[in-house]
Amino acid sequence: MSIKPKIAYQPRASWLHSLHPLIKLCWLAGLSISLFVVSSPLWVVTVLLLAVGSFPLAGLNLRRDVRGVRFLTTMGVLLFSLQAVFNHTGSPILDMAWGPANLLITGGGIAAGVYVGGRFLSLVLMSYLFVLTTDPSSLAYALMQIGLPYRYGFVLITALRLAPIFEVESNTVYQAQLTRGVKYDVRSPRKFVTLARQLILPLLVSALSKVDALAVSMEGRCFGKYSTRTYRRTTRYTRRDILALVLLAVGLIAVAWIAPPRL
């Protein structure tokens, strides 16, 4: 059976893909923090548009490559609408009455809606963009080369390697139970515990046996022998990376100057 993770790096030849993973991480962190400290709905909208616009520029399609994009959009719109309808701070923009019902939309409510819904969508889409355009092993190697202890770096790499395998295995265990007549439509808590145990135990045993094999394989190749290691793969910064970093810094300084942060 093919192993295909739900959210995974999508190799393309775009400018965003070719950026250094740490520069992309800086952009993700910088913009995410700015969403919460810069008090401007316009900035939130700008970041959201930037995130949405980057998808086609990176050769990605929001509908095809982002799982649950309809759900995310609905959530964003819902969060915006709730604030717009129920938050009545600021001056009224719209005041309509139908009998006993009254719809009051205020400037403060709209701004709050943009903050909540826009931040949610921006954060999720930027995170997706980062994951879809960044080779996770390149990120891990880049982090190790700037000082992350390599044992932690390889926790990330082995997790990335094993996570899809465990996903497939959990599905197999579930199917194996079905083939032996186990029914999952029970409502008794006791039966639920039994089913959970029957599902978790085989997975745990399988995981432990893999960990054993992996430990033998890694120790047999001297993993942990020294406190540091060398790397075949070295990630270099290009002019484009430096330009992207400068652009981020200038952008953040400019927006902080125009709309001073609430710290």
Partner 1 sequence: MIRIRDLSFKFHGSETHALDHVSLDIKPGEFVVVTGPSGCGKSTLALALGGYLFRQYAGEACGEVTVDGLSTREAEIFDIAEIVGLVQQNPEAQLCTLTVADEVAFGLENRRMPKATIEERSEWALEIVGALHLFDRPLATLSGGEKQKVAIAAMMAAKPQVLIFDEPTSNLDPTATGEIFKVIQHIREKAGITVIVIEHKLGYLKPFRPRVVTMEQGRIVSDGQDTTHFPRFENAFEPTLCSLPKSSNGRVACTEHLTVDYGNAPVLDDVSLDLHAGEFVAVMGDNGCGKTTLLRCLMGLLKPQGGRVEILGQDAGEVPVSSLAREVGFIFQNPDHQLFAESVWDEAIFAPRNFGQLHEGTSQRVAQLLKRCRLDQYRENHPYRLSYGEKRRLNLASILSYEPRLILLDEILIGQDNQNATMIMDLLKEQTARGKTVVNVTHDPQTTFRYSDRILFLKGGRILLDAPISEAIGRLADLGLTDYLPNGRAERHSSK
Contact residues toward partner 1 (CB under 8 A) are 1-4, 136-137, 154, 157-158, 160-161, 164-165, 169, 172-173, 175-183, 198, 201-202, 205-206, 209-210, 212-226, 228-234
Nearer CB in complex with partner 1: 185/262:
185
Nearer CB in complex with partner 1: 70/161:
161
Exposed/middle/buried for residue 209 (C-beta within 10 Å: 0-12, 13-18, 19+): exposed
Return the residue matching tokens 């599905």.
171
Nearer CB in complex with partner 1: 121/139:
139
CB of 185 to partner 1, least distance (A): 9
CB of 189 to partner 1, least distance (A): 19
CB of 204 to partner 1, least distance (A): 10
Nearer CB in complex with partner 1: 40/170:
170
Token code pair at residue 185: 């439509």
Nearer CB in complex with partner 1: 82/199:
199
- At 134 the three-state DSSP class reads coil
The count of residues in the chain is: 263
Select from 8, 14, 4 the least CA-distant residue to 128.
8
Nearer CB in complex with partner 1: 121/144:
144
CB of 152 to partner 1, least distance (A): 14
Distance of alpha carbon 263 from alpha carbon 257, whole angstroms: 14
94 within 8 A of 105, measured Cβ to Cβ: yes
CB of 209 to partner 1, least distance (A): 7
Tally Cβ neighbours within 10 Å of residue 134: 21
Question: What DSSP string describes 17-73?
Answer: HHS-HHHHHHHHHHHHHHHHHB--HHHHHHHHHHHHHHHHHTT--HHHHSTTHHHHH
CB of 136 to partner 1, least distance (A): 7
